[in-house]
A and B are shown apart, each in its own frame.
Chain A
Amino acid sequence: MKIIATDRQGKVHQLEGREHWSVMEILRDAGLDVAAECGGACACGTCHVYVTDGWYDKLPEPSESEIDMLDMALAVQPGTSRLSCQITCSTETDGIKVTVAPE
């Protein structure tokens, strides 16, 4: 399963997702400069990404705690902003397009 990720410099990376891993973990391990300060606990807002190209609507709705945490993220764009630690890789997310948000 693929993740098409654009980094902060605008470079596009084709990454291999892993079932049940979060998109944050894949981005972080690929060195895409995702701080993910809290380590994936939905507690810091520093793994913020924009989910683009229609993929936002294909994902399960963000939880109440993710919506709350996005209030502490920078440059949030309603309708595309998600915390990548809360998106789980699966066959349904194969080909998902994300852009790492500015910090």
Chain B
Amino acid sequence: MTAAPIETDVAIIGAGPIGLFAVFELGLLDLKCHLVDILDRPGGQCTELYPEKPIYDIPALPIVTGQQLVNQLMEQIKPFNPQFHFSEMATSLEKLADGRWKLKTDAGTEITAHVVVIAAGAGSFQPKRPPVPGIEHFENAGDGIGVHYAVRKMETFRGKDILIAGGGDSALDWVINLAPLAKSLTLVHHRDGFRAAQHSVNQMRELEKEGKVKFHVASVKAVHGEPGKLSGVTLTGADKSEWRHEADAFLPFFGLTIKLGPIAEFGINLHENLIPVDTARFESQAPGIFAIGDINTYTGKLKLILSGFHEAALMSQAAFHIARPNEKLRFQYTTSSSNLQKKLGVS
């Protein structure tokens, strides 16, 4: 499914704190932004890894949690009405004849922009894949069978022998939700204790008592079957004993990890998975493609949120000249410019 192509000034890959602040700096210069992020909400690592953890080194904020910082940034950029494309992965970047760039996503979104800003942190969040040899041959095997890292349609798992691994909220939630439709449901975890919310654990224990769920302190050591058709796994127990367990579907839930992802195939020069940029414009070696935040590298680079904010401001000045080649950039302060205050909706 391909939606109508989008035309805008700037396409930003990554809606973490730096991508969000870039919207502000670009917005002051009247540049409109579309943002693409593989996560289903803004904030990147701040909200995915440490929403509740305090950050102490944001200038003028003695203490702020990851979630609070992102909430504040979302409020700050609201006047500029950025358009978000969540749960989409930026998959390709193509230079058009008129000098603009076309960014495509795995959901079929196409964004044509004068400037592309890569603010992708360490890359894209992807499900952790258990280090079981050959597991990849059973991924994307079809509805309700093989290895799945997410449940899209519960109904596809009806009547199946399901094995779930993990001890967090996702693992327990899916045990509870899939048990009523499964032919059998087995949960394995490396300990007889769970990180998941207590009420979920209680519900799981209840299902176990009723015989609707089997739980083993064990881990998956091997997967079996023809490629594309899982037949079962080998489990290893706490006492190192091993046994075979039949399953149509294996659902590992160990959260997300960061992989560079398709950025590696954009044709941009990379150095150890980072994008080298100059420190005046924060532009990659491809004119019109900028990189800010943790994804870039230059002499003296520090992976700090505050460095990314600075990079966003300088990048925006350079981006303006590309997007508005015939206009003069007027540098103004938000404290004194009624023009900027109007854009911010405060005067």
Contact = CB atoms under 8 A, between A and B. Distances in A.
Given A43-B53, A71-B166, A71-B189, A37 B122 contact: yes
Interface of A: 35, 37-38, 41, 43-46, 67-78, 81, 102-103
Nearest to B166: A71
B238 A45 contact: no
B49 A78 contact: no
Interface stretch (B26-34, B98-106, B254-262): B254-262
Interface string B233-259: 000001000000000000000110110
B53 A46 contact: no
Interface string B201-226: 00000000000000000010000000
B50 A73 contact: no
29 contacts: A35-B257, A37-B49, A37-B122, A38-B45, A38-B50, A41-B50, A43-B49, A43-B50, A43-B53, A44-B255, A44-B257, A45-B254, A45-B255, A67-B193, A68-B195, A71-B166, A71-B167, A71-B195, A72-B168, A72-B195, A72-B254, A72-B255, A74-B128, A74-B129, A75-B219, A78-B190, A81-B190, A103-B128, A103-B131
A46 B255 CA distance: 11
Contacts of B227: none
B271 to A, nearest CB: 15
A73 B166 CA distance: 9
Contact of A35 (B53, B131, B258): B258
A35 B45 CA distance: 14
B236 to A, nearest CB: 9
Q: Identify the 6 closest CB pairs spanning chains A and B, nearest first.
A: A71-B167, A102-B131, A71-B195, A68-B195, A72-B255, A76-B190
A103 B238 CA distance: 21
A103 B112 CA distance: 36
A81 B167 CA distance: 15
Contacts of B128: 72, 74, 103
Nearest to B193: A67
Contacts of B174: none
Given A44-B255, A73-B254, A103-B257, 5 more contacts: A41-B49, A71-B168, A71-B194, A71-B195, A102-B131
Contacts of B183: none
Contacts of A78: 190-191, 238
Contact of A46 (B166, B219, B257): B257
A78 to B, nearest CB: 6
A51 to B, nearest CB: 15
A75 B191 CA distance: 12
A39 to B, nearest CB: 8
Interface string B267-294: 0000000000000000000000000000
Nearest to B128: A74
Contact of B45 (A37, A45, A70, A72): A37
A21 B128 CA distance: 27
B129 to A, nearest CB: 8
B42 to A, nearest CB: 18
B130 interface: yes
Contacts of A103: 128, 131, 257
A71 B219 CA distance: 12
Contact of A37 (B53, B130, B258): B258
Q: Which of A37, A44, A74, A75 has the most CB of B within 10 A?
A: A74
Nearest to B258: A37
A71 B167 CA distance: 5
Interface string B57-88: 00000000000000000000000000000000
A74 B195 contact: no
Nearest to B171: A71
A78 B218 CA distance: 10
